[in-house]
Structure 1
Amino acid sequence: MRRRQFLLHTAGLTGATALGTAGLSACSADTNTPLKLLVASYDKSVGSSIGDQWGSLIGAFRKAHPDIEVDLERVPFAQLDRTLARRVRDGHAPDIAQSNFFAPYAQDGKLYKASDIFDIRTEGDFIRSYAEAGMIDRVQYGLPFLASTPRLFYNTALFKKAGVRAPGSWAELRDAAKALKGIGVPTPYGLQLGPEAAEDEALAWLLADGGGYAGLTGYDFANPSNVDTLTWLRDNLVTPGLAGRDPKSLTRTDAYAQFLRGKIGMMIAHPVLMGAADRAEFPYAHAPFPKKLGGAAPPVGLNDWLMAFRQNGRREQCGTFLGYLYGRKSALAYGGGQSALPVTSSAAKALRESPRQRPLWDFIDQMPVAQFQPTNLGSWPKVRSAVRAHIGEAVAEGARPKAVLESLDAVAVRAEL
């Protein structure tokens, strides 16, 4: 269940105060009706529950805005998208909801625009790359939430033993993987193409050689750059046994656990891994994921979305609550942990200036140049499912990457129709 399925460690919000939204026009909705908020809950195995932080935030919000009740409903993360879709379909949309997707609801006219619910200052404070990822036709509907950018983590003890350093190109990554295999590391590079988050791992590699899932005119899986990238992975990492036994089955959760047991030498990971590694006094470092021929690749931007639904006419109340959540102090508190980077420029700047938050600086610095999955396409939920199910097949020994990518293009065409 994406990055938070491993040792979630979000910063607390107890006592947080924030800048509220201003100047929102009045609406006719019943102000005595609680504001309905639908969010994800997480299994205890992932660590401290985000539900605790929601409770603290809502408690602080109520002190600042005693006239607005908030009715919080938690749904298991694995069921969140299905639950929300069913509620909306049945005419029972919440006022505010968390989801992996926003575009289908925006395209159906069910969401408030960011400009409907925020004042200019708050709306303009989102980190631009994340704000743009939440846009359709240059209008923002999706509000970034639980943001992250990954980097290449590596086991410094194993790297020292193998006599290698952090790779700065794909050739260096392959050579480092060979050296790690030579000292007995079972999975020199953890290629995470299993069903949990294959679309994230694959996109990191595609971006590193100028590819991606979509172009200016829509989906474009079988472009030459993508074919070359997956062919390289097949021939240079998977076939020689440098990416473990079965990359298409390796989930992010399993990869993180194997890394901390010394079974994986290097892999793409998120800042959430640092907390577990630090507590275990595990020897690690991280570096930018490299471009094929050298240099830092564009990082993948990841987040969930918050959305404000129009159905109940609670524009003013939604704006007041969300303005509080994304105000500088709350945004900094909520994004000050290792599983959720701040998505506003003011909070990111404050975190970046704090020596205590130095471990997060490299991740924060990547956020303005992050690139995203095609979240602005209403068909992306269906297409993403196909990517998760099949992208790993493209790099298996003897596979035909172009054929797999062409099949994804076909899925995309059907989904668009």
Structure 2
Amino acid sequence: MAVVATSSLLTGCGATGSGDVTLKLVAADYGDSEDNTSQKYWDALTDAYEKDHPGVRVDVEVYSWEDVDAKVKAMVDAGDPPDMAQVGAYADYAAAGQLYPVSQLLSVPVQADFLGEMSRAGEVGGTQYGMPFAASTRRLFYNKKLFAQADIEPPKTWSQLVTAARALKAQGVTYPFALPLGGEEAQAETLIWMLSNGGGYTDNVGSYSIDTPQNVRALNWLKDDLVGAGLTGPTAPARLNRTPAFKAFANGEVGMLSGHPTLMNMAKAKGVAYGDVAVPGPDGTPKSRMGVTDWMMAFKEGGHAKAVGAFLDFVYSEKNVLDFSREYTVAPVTASASDEMRDAPQDKALSPFIDELAGATYYPANKTSWPEISAEIKKQIGATVAPNGSPASVLGRIQNEAAAAESAE
């Protein structure tokens, strides 16, 4: 993997302060095997950086997504946080006053290169603390062979999706429409369909608004028109997780499901011909789309603002953002890399995901209560589409919990 320094973004060793400095970064693993673990990416990047900055050493520890947040928390609780952490949430640390504002770290051109919606999602109280790191949105994937056998076209509306699922079921497809509302990522699948109907987890001023009529209608549609009609396969949505749903798609057992770019690689590896289209809306184009980004943050404890900022300028240079995005099939978080990938033939398959990030809606990651509420959604939301489920009741209960948690922030 080529990792090239962009000299215009780099300052000399003197910019990091006097004497040698060692920076510690804890990062999540985006790889799916030993061959492409993120440790290899970071080792190559830090080697390149250290050659141009002989007074700086950057030690990187990479952990699985199951472990990385807990590892960082343990370090913070022990009073020894890393200089930088690339994880799934930042708001708790920002609210506790433990993070550097981004403006104290990055050069102006690098900070300005972040996509606007992502930068705003990294703000607490109007100040940006979270730096987006790798992004994706969701599109509706479909199995081209199964669609051809059922003589159907990719759906653009909710009613067309139901019609397509019925045709797939008639052909004996195991999962005409896979609906993963299990604990792995129920908060994402739920938000996809809420946004499709003009709802979401928060209102236009950022307050929780989970039990709105738009959200209730979206879940009632899933419950009555898809689950209740027997169109979501043999596994109850509350027990179906994203990972097995993706594996079933790659095995040719799923007609349709909402997926992120990783699914492209899984399908290709198994020889499944697939297509992807925008998630359907009630009457066509969804009213909003979901965007997802992970976060980089820098802790103040070590006092290495200049050294951290110079290194992160390098991390977010166009070349390095492109390298990471292409290696792990994720959308870039900067405008410069997005423009490059949007027009590059080698990135054609990823281009629709990049386009859909413009104006996307993100999780309310700037709320310290969001991890708690996300956990409740994962725990409770599958019950909404069960035979005796009540979307209005469950969403109302979660809204009450969210409002209480929000008032305590």
TM-score by length of 2: 0.94
- Rounded Cα–Cα distance in structure 1 between residues aligned with 2:280 and 2:32: 35
The reply to whether residue 32 of structure 1 matches residue 20 of structure 2 is: yes
Offset of 1:386 from its aligned partner? 0.7
- Rounded Cα–Cα distance in structure 1 between residues aligned with 2:34 and 2:162: 32
Corresponding residue number in structure 2 for 1:300: 290
Q: Against the structure 1 CA distance between its residues 33 and 341, is the aligned structure 2 distance closer, same or farther, given a 3 Å change threshold? A: same
Counterpart pick for 1:85 among 69, 73, 87: 73
Corresponding residue number in structure 1 for 2:254: 264
Offset of 1:322 from its aligned partner? 0.6
Offset of 1:398 from its aligned partner? 1.7
Q: Is the 8 A contact 1:24 1:119 kept in 2?
A: no
Offset of 1:184 from its aligned partner? 0.5
- SS of aligned partner of 2:24: strand
Alignment of 1:6-405 (within 5 A): 12=1, 14-19=2-7, 21=9, 31-41=19-29, 48-215=36-203, 216-244=205-233, 245-405=235-395
- SS of aligned partner of 1:123: helix
Offset of 1:20 from its aligned partner? 5.7
- SS of aligned partner of 2:113: coil
* One-letter code aligned to 1:40: A
- Rounded Cα–Cα distance in structure 2 between residues aligned with 1:144 and 1:130: 6
My pick for the range that moved more, 332-341 or 120-129, is 332-341
Q: Against the structure 1 CA distance between its residues 357 and 339, is the aligned structure 2 distance closer, same or farther, given a 3 Å change threshold? A: closer
- Rounded Cα–Cα distance in structure 1 between residues aligned with 2:169 and 2:267: 22
Alpha-carbon deviations, 1:1-41, whole Å to 9, x = none? xxxxxxxxxxx4x3332356467998997752410111124
Q: Is the 8 A contact 2:21 2:55 kept in 1?
A: no
Q: Against the structure 1 CA distance between its residues 196 and 297, is the aligned structure 2 distance closer, same or farther, given a 3 Å change threshold? A: same
| Count of residues paired in the alignment | 405
> Mind listing any 5+ residue stretches in structure 1 that lack a counterpart?
1-11
- SS of aligned partner of 1:363: helix
Q: Against the structure 1 CA distance between its residues 24 and 310, is the aligned structure 2 distance closer, same or farther, given a 3 Å change threshold? A: farther
Q: Against the structure 1 CA distance between its residues 78 and 246, is the aligned structure 2 distance closer, same or farther, given a 3 Å change threshold? A: same
Offset of 1:413 from its aligned partner? 3.1
- Rounded Cα–Cα distance in structure 2 between residues aligned with 1:350 and 1:277: 25
- SS of aligned partner of 2:326: coil
Alpha-carbon deviations, 1:362-413, whole Å to 9, x = none? 1111112211111111111111111111111111112111111111112213
Q: Is the 8 A contact 1:308 1:318 kept in 2?
A: yes
Offset of 1:335 from its aligned partner? 1.5
- SS of aligned partner of 2:72: helix
- Rounded Cα–Cα distance in structure 1 between residues aligned with 2:173 and 2:291: 30
Q: Against the structure 1 CA distance between its residues 44 and 276, is the aligned structure 2 distance closer, same or farther, given a 3 Å change threshold? A: closer
- SS of aligned partner of 2:66: helix
Offset of 1:298 from its aligned partner? 2.5
- Rounded Cα–Cα distance in structure 2 between residues aligned with 1:80 and 1:347: 26
- Rounded Cα–Cα distance in structure 2 between residues aligned with 1:332 and 1:204: 27
- Rounded Cα–Cα distance in structure 1 between residues aligned with 2:299 and 2:114: 20
Q: Is the 8 A contact 2:177 2:257 kept in 1?
A: yes
- Rounded Cα–Cα distance in structure 2 between residues aligned with 1:107 and 1:90: 18
Q: Against the structure 1 CA distance between its residues 163 and 338, is the aligned structure 2 distance closer, same or farther, given a 3 Å change threshold? A: farther
Q: Against the structure 1 CA distance between its residues 398 and 31, is the aligned structure 2 distance closer, same or farther, given a 3 Å change threshold? A: farther
- Rounded Cα–Cα distance in structure 1 between residues aligned with 2:34 and 2:391: 34
- Rounded Cα–Cα distance in structure 1 between residues aligned with 2:244 and 2:34: 12
Alpha-carbon deviations, 1:163-192, whole Å to 9, x = none? 111100000001100110010011111111
- Rounded Cα–Cα distance in structure 2 between residues aligned with 1:366 and 1:44: 25
Q: Is the 8 A contact 2:177 2:255 kept in 1?
A: yes
My pick for the range that moved more, 270-279 or 192-201, is 270-279
Alpha-carbon deviations, 1:247-275, whole Å to 9, x = none? 11111110111001111100011111112
- Rounded Cα–Cα distance in structure 2 between residues aligned with 1:320 and 1:28: 7
Q: Is the 8 A contact 2:246 2:263 kept in 1?
A: yes
Q: Against the structure 1 CA distance between its residues 318 and 397, is the aligned structure 2 distance closer, same or farther, given a 3 Å change threshold? A: same
Q: Against the structure 1 CA distance between its residues 268 and 28, is the aligned structure 2 distance closer, same or farther, given a 3 Å change threshold? A: closer
Alpha-carbon deviations, 1:46-75, whole Å to 9, x = none? 872111111111111112222210111223
* One-letter code aligned to 1:218: S
- Rounded Cα–Cα distance in structure 2 between residues aligned with 1:42 and 1:271: 12
- SS of aligned partner of 2:36: coil
